[in-house]
Amino acid sequence: MPNMSLHKNPMPVQEPDVRNRNFNEVALGYTEEQAVDEAERCLNCKHKPCVSGCPVAIDIPAFIQKVKEKDFEAAYEVLNRSTSLPAVCGRVCPQETQCECKCVRGIKGEPVAIGRLERFVADYHMAHNTKDAQIPKPNGHKVAVIGAGPSGLTCAGDLAKLGYAVTVFEALHLAGGVLVYGIPQFRLPKEIVRKEIENLKAIGVKIETNMVIGKVLSIDELFENGYEAVFIGSGAGLPRFMKIPGENLKGVYSANEFLTRVNLMKAYQQGSNTPIQNARKVAVVGGGNVAMDAARCAKRLGAETVYIVYRRSEAEMPARLEEVEHAKEEGIIFKVLTNPTEITGDEHKFVNGMRCVKMELGEPDASGRRSPVEKKGSDFTLDVDCVIMSIGTSPNPLIRNTTKGLDTNRHGCIITEEETGLTSREGVYAGGDAVTGAATVILAMGAGKKAAQSIDEYIKNK
Amino acid sequence: MVHRQLCDYKTGIQIEAEEWWDMYKIVKKKSLNPTVSFMEIDAPFIAKKAEPGQFIILRVDENGERIPLTIADFDREKGTVTIIYQIVGATTKKLDSLNEGDSLQDFVGPLGVPSHTEGLKRVAVIGGGVGCAIAYPIAKKLHQSNAVVHSVVGFRTKDLVILEDEFAAVSDELIIKTDDGTYGTKGLVTDALKQLIERGEQYDEVIAIGPLVMMKFVARLTKEYGIKTTVSMNPIMIDGTGMCGGCRLTVGGETKFACVDGPDFDGHLVDFDEAMERSSMYRDFEKHHYEAACHLFDKA
């Protein structure tokens, strides 16, 4: 008899005013009992609508069935057929707009907590698995992957499972892309990312860090090295600024810089040699998940006041609802319909305030979005000593500038065939934020997966 | 030891041994003066591509920060890259505690745009302090392409003079200045440059590399004479690949990222005052860490 509760089993979490002073994971994960009880809520639908919501098409009812049977390793096997990073996805996917929004149980009541169950199974496997990974039989072909973020790692994992010798080239000193420099420890512990990457290495994926493709080797040189296909998963890491006065004052960061210092360089830890400003009052400009991450990190670093400054209203915020709620619980103050016009500094050129105007939403434009309009005479100053710009990123121009014949659009995004991920260059595929501009981890993984299939077909038919 | 299985992309020879490259090993180290050291690092991939004006980012150890250092020289045959650094803080002090045979944690490059030297026939190369280590490969490249090179190098005092023989070998004229007059002639590099210009020397370009304040005053001087001037900027950097904007500068009223757009810029367009302010962002933190590092090493 299924569990007919209308509600998900709640996720145990750290209390808000405890967690906003540490970098430990906020959500603590299901116990075995909670996981089995939640799994019982799945009706095992024949037509599996949830699967259609998952960009990597995990056989969701099948893995949940194994959780019901308490055969957690078998559940992991089901996940492993479709995803290379289940412990990551279970944590950071916006399930409410993907698998869970298609769940039949969500029509009346809450959907099955698919993400939490995926996370549980992956964590269980990490804690209990003692078997060595099976290295797939080599097929004698070599593929290069540029960028060790979610799309590159997924592509590499899928190709390795098919027997390809895959080398991933990563510019930073650690693999993981946004999973290590962007998403903070308290949402995604770096130990989890490290273990997922160890799993990939165990099936034969080679990861070369400190290799900036476009500088140290070009794509053409990769082909000369015997790689038969290349996947570009270099992301969208170039930060945008507002071009308002005072943006180069001391205490103004891009969210990328702030989060890289905190997450990748561990500036929050004693013993790290990388400094970060000891800010008291912080304004984070923007309303996406990155803005929420930056604001919550600033709070944890000891800031007394942290504002989110966003030019539209809360309803338009691109951040996940859960992230917005978590931020509010932790004491982040939301200043919506507010737009910065100038950052002001003291005599030593440190930030001492931010001039803002109030906004109101105008008529819907052609795209149906109501664009914000400045309210005359509504300007005021926010008392801050640090400003973090989180208004989006674009693809880094390095690869497109050093690769002949690689077509990009006017935003600098690589142009690919929708179905295959093929670029304008034979044998060169691309996916993730390098193609779409800044999007989500799971979409990048979906693109990596699709490109792996295309690369396999391309090489087999050569 | 790290597994490297790429073949040499120039010769196409597959390297059979898996552990053919001992990661970022220090193959040579020497002290150039009491605070400046020279290191040759095993980094064949970087050595193959490096050009004067480019830089690397390194991390000394697992807890280390990423610091940028300009490539002072490279040997494509040997597969080594030379760095010359001044001990100014905790990280450079820690770096200097390593010796030949030790390895660096991370070493990435070549980053940034190479210096433009094509078509230059008469050039004044101005180096200040450890900046001379960066000015030298440019002077060398210009000399090799048969340009007339006048080098003006400045140091605080005699003990700090570096690369004198190297500069002499690639310069048609070499002027050494010290602040206190203990070596060469007393005074600033700008004094010497002014004399050269007033003597009637015509330069296609002045290339100035050194402390921000020195580059600022060189640029101010050459602007009066309308001589094109290139400076090599050295702002705070983290990734060095264009993903954070920590190194941003205002050049001609526009924001530029020194790591991808530079580090070379038109000296007459750079906002030096802003750059100097931005470099002092973490002064307190750095001072604290330097003192802690000194304490640690002095005890050991």
The H-or-E segment that residue B251 falls in is strand B248-251
Q: What is the mean pLDDT of chain A?
A: 93
pLDDT of amino acid A364? 82
C-alpha–C-alpha distance, residues B168 and A284, integer Å: 53
The average pLDDT across B131-154 equals: 94
State the count of interchain CB pairs (< 8 A) between A and B.
121
Q: What is the DSSP track for B100-165? A: TT-B-SEEEEEESPPPP-TT--EEEEEEEGGGHHHHHHHHHHHHHTT-EEEEEEEESSGGG---HH
Residue of A143, A166, A212, A390 best to disrupt the B interface, most CBs of B under 10 A: A212
Q: What is the pLDDT of residues B54-67, one digit of tens each?
A: 999 999 998 899 99
Q: Per-residue pLDDT averaged across B168-184, rounded? A: 95
Q: Among residues 138-177 of chain B, which lie with CB inside 8 Å of chain A?
A: none
Distance CA B226, CA B223 (A): 5
Is the predicted pLDDT of residue A375 greater than 70, yes or no? Answer: yes
pLDDT band for position A367 (50/70/90)?
Answer: confident
Quickly list DSSP for B161-183. ---HHHHHHH-SEEEEEETTSSS
- Residue A383, pLDDT > 80, answer yes
Taking the C-alpha atoms of residue A452 and residue A422, their distance in angstroms, rounded to an integer, is 11
**Residues of chain B with C-beta less than 8 angstroms from the C-beta of A243:** 255
Per-domain residue ranges for chain A? 16-128, 142-236+395-461, 238-392
pLDDT digits (tens, 9 = 90+) for A295-326: 999 999 999 999 999 999 999 999 988 899 99
pLDDT in tens, A406-443: 999 998 999 999 989 999 999 999 999 999 998 888 88
Q: How far is residue A339's CA from residue A235's CA, in Å, rounded to a whole number?
A: 28
Residue B160 near residue B143 (C-beta atoms within 8 A) = no
Mean pLDDT over B87-99 rounds to 92
Place of tokens 């930056």: A294
Query: Which pLDDT belongs to residue B21?
Result: 47
Structural domains of chain B sorted by starting position, each given as residue range(s) with its CATH number in brackets: 2-111 (2.40.30.10), 122-279 (3.40.50.80)
Question: What is residue A332's three-state secondary structure?
Answer: coil
ipTM, two decimals: 0.89
Give me the helix-helix angle, B272-279 and B212-225, nearest 10°: 180
Give contacts of B285 with chain A, Cβ < 8 Å. Answer: 275
Using CA atoms, how far residue A22 sits from A19, A186, A267, in Å, is 5, 8, 13
Q: What are phi and psi of B50, to 5 degrees?
A: -60, 145
pLDDT of residue A401: 85
Residue A408's pLDDT is: 93
Instruction: Give the whole-angstrom CA distance, residue A230 versus residue A222.
Output: 8
Cβ-Cβ contacts under 8 Å, B248 against chain A: 241, 248
User: Is it the case that residue B10 has pLDDT exceeding 70?
Assistant: no
Confidence of residue A271 (pLDDT cuts 50, 70, 90): confident
**pLDDT for B9 beyond 50:** no
- Residue B298's pLDDT band, with cuts at 50, 70 and 90, is low
Whole-number pLDDT of residue A4: 87
pLDDT at A409: 93
- Report, as an integer, the average pLDDT of A53-60: 92
In this predicted model, what pLDDT tens digit does every residue of B113-129 receive, in sequence order?
A: 999 988 999 999 999 99
Strand residue runs (E) in A54-204: 142-146, 165-169
- Residue B18: its pLDDT value, please? 38
Of residues A389 and A320, more confidently modeled: A389
In whole angstroms, give the CA distance from residue A303 to residue A281: 6
State the pLDDT at residue B19: 38
- Rounded to an integer, the average pLDDT of A22-43 is 95
The residue-averaged pLDDT of A126-153 equals 91
Tell me, what's the pLDDT at B11? Answer: 40
pLDDT band per the 50, 70, 90 thresholds, residue B156: very high
CATH number of the domain at A16-128, please? Answer: 1.10.1060.10
What pLDDT shows up at residue B202? Answer: 94
Q: Is the pLDDT higher at A3 or at A77?
A: A77
A142-236+395-461 and A238-392 share one fold: yes
Question: How many DSSP H helices and E strands does chain B contain?
Answer: 9, 15
Give whole-number Cα distances, B283 to A60, B89, B290, in Å.
Answer: 53, 10, 10
Instruction: Give the residue numbers of the binding site of B for FAD.
Output: 84-86
Least confident among A15-24, B84-93, B277-286: B277-286
Name the band, by pLDDT with cuts 50, 70 and 90, for residue B87: very high
Taking a C-beta distance cutoff of 8 angstroms, is the pair A148, A124 a contact? no
Q: Residue B62 has which token pair?
A: 């697992």
Size of chain B in residues: 300
Q: List, for residues A172-219, the tens digit of each pLDDT value.
A: 999 999 999 999 999 999 999 998 899 899 999 999 999 999 999 999
A362 near A312, Cβ under 8 Å? Answer: no
- Looking at residue A213, the DSSP 8-state letter turns out to be B
Query: Quick one: pLDDT at residue B297?
Result: 63
pLDDT at B8 > cutoff 50: no
Minimum-distance CB partner of B9 among A211, A225, A348: A225
Residue B285, pLDDT score = 81
Q: What's residue A174's pLDDT?
A: 94
Q: Quick one: CATH architecture of A238-392?
A: 3-Layer(bba) Sandwich (3.50)
Known binding residues of B for [2Fe-2S] cluster: 244, 247, 259
User: Is the pLDDT confidence value at B3 over 50?
Assistant: no
Average pLDDT over residues A58-78: 96
Distance (Å, whole) CA B261 – CA A21: 39
Express each pLDDT in A221-257 by its tens digit: 999 999 999 999 999 989 999 999 999 999 999 999 9
Q: Are B194 and B185 in contact (CB under 8 A)?
A: no
The fold adopted by the segment(s) A142-236+395-461 is: FAD/NAD(P)-binding domain (3.50.50)
Q: When comparing pLDDT for B297 and B258, which is higher?
A: B258
In terms of average pLDDT, the best of A133-137, A338-342, B9-13, B69-73 is A338-342
Instruction: Give, as one character, the DSSP assignment of residue A287.
Output: -
For residues B9 and A343, what is the distance between their CA atoms, to the nearest angstrom?
49
Residue B275's closest chain A neighbor by CA?
A248
Average pLDDT of chain B is 89
Number of helices (H) and strands (E) in chain A: give both, helices first. 17, 16
Q: A208 to chain B: which residues are within 8 Å by CB? A: 4
Looking at residues A16-34, what average pLDDT do you find?
94
Q: What backbone torsions phi and psi does residue B37 show, to the nearest 5 degrees?
A: -125, 160
CB B106 within 8 A of CB B188: no
Touching check for B239 and chain A: CB below 8 Å?
Answer: yes
- Select from A256, A273, A391, A394 the residue whose CB has the most chain B CBs within 10 Å, as the one to mutate to test that interface: A273
